């Protein structure tokens, strides 16, 4: 059966059952079906969700954020501990069974950050951010100097070479100009990739140090009015951030693969593959302009000119700098908060989370997400106080040390991996929760329609229509604007639906997906946000620009809770594997096209395309079989067995040996790219080996992907077989 015919049959089966709504007798309105719910339960779910969505409150969200941003609270500090204690107490007051989990991990503390231009003139750089009257927090003496976490200490001098964004294509451009960075200090602007990739590439090209800066073309005055007149980065703004090589593995550098408990085996920093070996420092645009304006050498290639008011040159030239970085590294405590709302079935978990540590005040990142999560939890607690009991246990996690390298979540997942794989159904993440009106989400393919469906039932604060409709219009507008550019749409999203991007890295969903195989979602509302990781990401910025009325934090709480309730209350878990199968089959076809001109690679790729076709066929059969259930079995254990298998399909995609060269990453279908960092690579082992024309690794990775798809296909066939034997009332939306 062809890919298109299978996809059409699965869609038709779903459409038929969606039309089979519950007609309420006595002239009442029909209740629209909800994927995964029997007709008997759909109406009760609608009522429960409406009650829930009426509870989150903007005034409470504002109060939450005011408290969360009351002091700088970087991971490893006493202030971060105070935030964790406050969060623990909040969740307890909502009725959650809450604990605070402590890990000791390898964390940096800046002691001295110094940069000076030594030629052609002497000028001190690495300036502190300029405070602004009216925003008292920008005067706070507790703000630490801007630094890059996991930079080693160093004291170096040398000429500077400008490398644009410092990504692979940029180094190819430099090579074509005959410019080498060996022995030089590179100056790279933020954007187009994770900062740790920029440092890794500089290290690979034998640079001795890295200076990172924010160019006004990317998030400053070229984008719009800078702070405090607008939401964009002012000239003195500095983007802090980690340069840990999280694309190799995230978490505590000294405990890869194991939770940082007192008994875990720790390696030495010299043996930690995810630690950079050259010093790095972040600076502002106004400091970078001093260096850039003194560079000579070739005029920059096309696309390298930024927003500063002079012509950029590559260098090296007259600009010489002295760079000193002194960092104190030690085992320091971090604090995760784990809150459980126990359900009737305590062996099935619906999980939500975001982090609580911040580079400075963290109003947007992560405070807006934390504020929304608190309102989600409070509303769920109110439902319990009114007599409702969750069907499954809801677990809400507030992670520490996300900013240095996803540490709190990674250590907890590593410690609890076996329990998670036995109990966790889905992990729902938010991070930068609200910086504007534009909803966006990423998800494993089986959960994309769950997110879309939930947003149909949440009101958009601006348009007063559904979030889904505003999201769809925004996506259509972005598609029109991108027409004719080189930017690519997310893979395999159906036409007419707002896209969800694949999950890469950059937030706390990564250990759940990449290491434990838990299907995951990441979501939030975005907008004009130029103060990322700076002192200006504070309460004043949020109140004036990001979410002045705190209505999008409330909207996010409503979406988070709606998705959680549908997973918690569903009769059959609403995983859509027909969509997953269609997406993987298309991605395999893309690989086949990429390999078409290299016959020696075709055989390996064919293993993947054949396995993807079998997985898609099994997913189609599973979808039809679940759609054909006429009633629930007498024994609820049969339904539990189906649900357990539905959740475990994602585990089937894990390879115990992990990706070649990156064994921490176990997922064969999704991982952050080795040279992208945050954005996802689909079928990463195969894709990257094909790009490098590495035949031995290509064969290994192709076999791993094929084996994973075959495992998942067999499980879906088992689900279909069990579903065909089932005999009770219809299940909507399959």
**In whole angstroms, what is the distance from residue 581 CA to residue 475 CA?**
24
Burial class (CB in 10 A: 0-12, 13-18, 19+), 469: middle
CA gap 194, 197 in Å, rounded: 6
**Catalytic: which of 45, 348, 375, 402?**
402
CB 20 within 8 A of CB 33: yes
Q: Which helix (H) or strand (E) holds 281?
A: strand 280-283
Q: How far apart are CA 486 and CA 646, in angstroms?
A: 37
The tokens describing 154, both together, are 């160093």
Closest by Cα among 588, 585, 595, 587 to 692: 595
- DSSP-derived letter for residue 307 is S
The encoded tokens of residue 524 equal 């939030």
Nearest to 244 by CA among 188, 171, 194, 192: 194
Torsion of CA 201, 206, 210, 216, to 10 degrees: -50
CB 115 within 8 A of CB 82: no
Cis before 161 (ω within 30): no
Task: Determine the number of helices (DSSP H) and then strands (DSSP E) in the chain.
Answer: 22, 16
Torsion of CA 577, 583, 589, 594, to 10 degrees: -140
- The position carrying tokens 């008997």 is 40
**What sign does the dihedral 581-583-588-592 (CA atoms) show?**
positive
Beta bridge partners of residue 162, listed in sequence order? 187
- In whole angstroms, what is the distance from residue 249 CA to residue 148 CA? 18
Check: CB of residue 69 under 8 Å from CB of residue 300: no
Both structure tokens of 228 = 């405090």
**Taking the C-alpha atoms of 608, 609, 612 and 614 in order, what is their torsion angle to the nearest 10 degrees?**
-110
* Sign, CA torsion 509/514/515/520: positive
* Rounded Cα–Cα distance for residues 701 and 705 (Å): 6
Ranges assigned E (strand) in 287-388 = 320-341, 345-355
- Beta-strand (E) ranges in 131-273? 148-149, 154-162, 185-189, 209-213, 241-242
For residue 429, the surrounding DSSP H or E stretch is strand 424-429
Tell me, yes or no, if 348 is annotated catalytic: no
Encode 664-726 in three state secondary structure.
CCCECCEEECCCCCCCEEECHHHHHHHHHCCHHHHHHHHHHHHHHHHHHHHHHHHHHHHHHCC
Dihedral in degrees, nearest 10, Cα atoms 628, 631, 637, 641:
10
Query: For 28, phi and psi rounded to 5 degrees?
Result: -75, 160
Catalytic residues: 402
């Amino acid at each position: 059966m062809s890919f298109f015919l299978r996809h059409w049959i699965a869609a038709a089966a779903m459409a038929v059952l969606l039309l089979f709504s519950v007609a309420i007798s006595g002239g009442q309105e029909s209740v629209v079906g909800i994927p995964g719910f029997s007709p008997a339960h759909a109406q009760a779910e609608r009522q429960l969700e409406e009650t829930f969505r009426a509870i989150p409150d903007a005034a409470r969200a504002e109060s939450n954020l005011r408290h969360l941003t009351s002091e700088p609270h970087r991971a490893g500090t006493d202030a971060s501990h105070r935030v964790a204690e406050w969060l623990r107490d909040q969740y307890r007051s909502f009725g959650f069974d809450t604990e605070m989990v402590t890990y000791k991990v390898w964390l940096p503390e800046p002691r001295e950050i110094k940069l000076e231009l030594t030629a052609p003139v002497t000028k001190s750089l690495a300036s502190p951010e300029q405070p602004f009257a009216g925003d008292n927090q920008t005067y706070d003496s507790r703000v630490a100097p801007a630094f890059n976490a996991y930079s080693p200490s160093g004291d170096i001098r040398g000429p500077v070479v400008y490398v644009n964004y410092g990504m692979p294509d940029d180094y190819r451009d430099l090579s074509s100009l005959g410019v080498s960075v060996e022995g030089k200090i590179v100056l790279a602007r933020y954007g187009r990739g994770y900062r740790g990739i920029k440092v890794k590439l500089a290290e690979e090209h034998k640079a001795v140090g890295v200076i990172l800066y924010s160019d006004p073309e990317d998030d400053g005055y070229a984008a719009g009015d800078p702070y405090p007149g607008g939401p964009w980065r002012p000239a003195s703004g500095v983007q802090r951030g980690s340069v840990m090589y999280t694309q190799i593995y995230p978490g505590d550098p000294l405990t890869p693969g194991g939770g940082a408990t007192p008994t875990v085996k720790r390696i030495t920093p010299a043996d930690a593959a995810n630690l950079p070996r050259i010093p790095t420092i972040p600076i502002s645009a106004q400091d970078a302009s001093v260096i850039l304006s003194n560079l000579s050498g070739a005029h920059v290639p096309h696309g390298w000119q930024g927003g500063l008011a002079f012509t950029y040159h590559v260098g090296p030239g007259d600009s010489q700098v002295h760079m000193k970085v002194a960092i104190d590294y030690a085992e320091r405590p971090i604090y995760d908060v784990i809150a459980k709302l126990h359900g009737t079935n305590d062996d099935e978990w619906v999980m939500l989370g975001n982090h609580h540590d911040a580079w400075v005040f963290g109003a947007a990142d992560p405070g807006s997400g934390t504020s929304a999560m608190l309102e989600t939890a409070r509303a769920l607690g109110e439902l319990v106080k009114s007599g409702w009991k969750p069907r499954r246990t809801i677990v809400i996690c507030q992670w520490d040390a996300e900013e240095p390298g996803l540490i709190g979540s990674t250590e907890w997942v590593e410690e609890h991996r076996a329990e998670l794989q036995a109990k966790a159904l889905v992990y729902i993440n938010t991070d930068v929760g609200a910086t504007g009106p534009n909803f966006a989400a990423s998800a494993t393919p089986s959960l994309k329609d769950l997110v879309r469906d939930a947003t149909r039932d949440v009101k958009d604060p601006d348009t007063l229509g559904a979030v889904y409709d505003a999201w769809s219009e925004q996506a259509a507008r972005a598609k029109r604007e991108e027409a004719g550019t080189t930017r690519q749409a997310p893979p395999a999203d159906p036409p007419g639906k707002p896209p969800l991007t694949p999950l890469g890295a950059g937030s706390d969903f990564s250990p759940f997906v990449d290491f434990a195989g838990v299907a995951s979602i990441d979501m939030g509302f975005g907008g004009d946000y130029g103060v990322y990781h700076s002192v200006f990401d504070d309460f004043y910025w949020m109140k004036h620009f990001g979410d002045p009325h705190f209505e999008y934090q409330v909207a996010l709480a409503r979406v988070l809770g709606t998705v959680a309730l549908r997973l918690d209350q569903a009769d059959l878990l609403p995983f859509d594997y027909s969509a997953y199968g269609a997406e993987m089959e298309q991605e395999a076809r893309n690989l086949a096209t990429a390999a078409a001109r290299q016959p020696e690679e075709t055989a390996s790729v064919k293993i993947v395309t054949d396995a993807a076709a079998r997985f898609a066929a099994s997913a189609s059969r599973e979808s039809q079989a679940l759609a054909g259930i006429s009633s629930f079995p007498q024994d609820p254990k049969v339904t539990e067995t189906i649900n357990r298998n539905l959740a475990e399909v994602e585990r089937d995609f894990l390879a115990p040996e992990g990706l070649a060269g990156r064994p921490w990453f176990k997922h064969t279908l999704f991982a952050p790219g080795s040279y992208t960092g945050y954005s996802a690579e689909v079928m990463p082992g195969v894709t990257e080996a094909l790009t490098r024309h590495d035949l031995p690794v290509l064969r290994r990775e192709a076999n791993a992907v094929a084996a994973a798809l075959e495992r998942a296909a067999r499980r879906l066939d088992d689900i279909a077989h069990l579903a065909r034997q089932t005999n009770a009332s219809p299940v909507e939306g399959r």
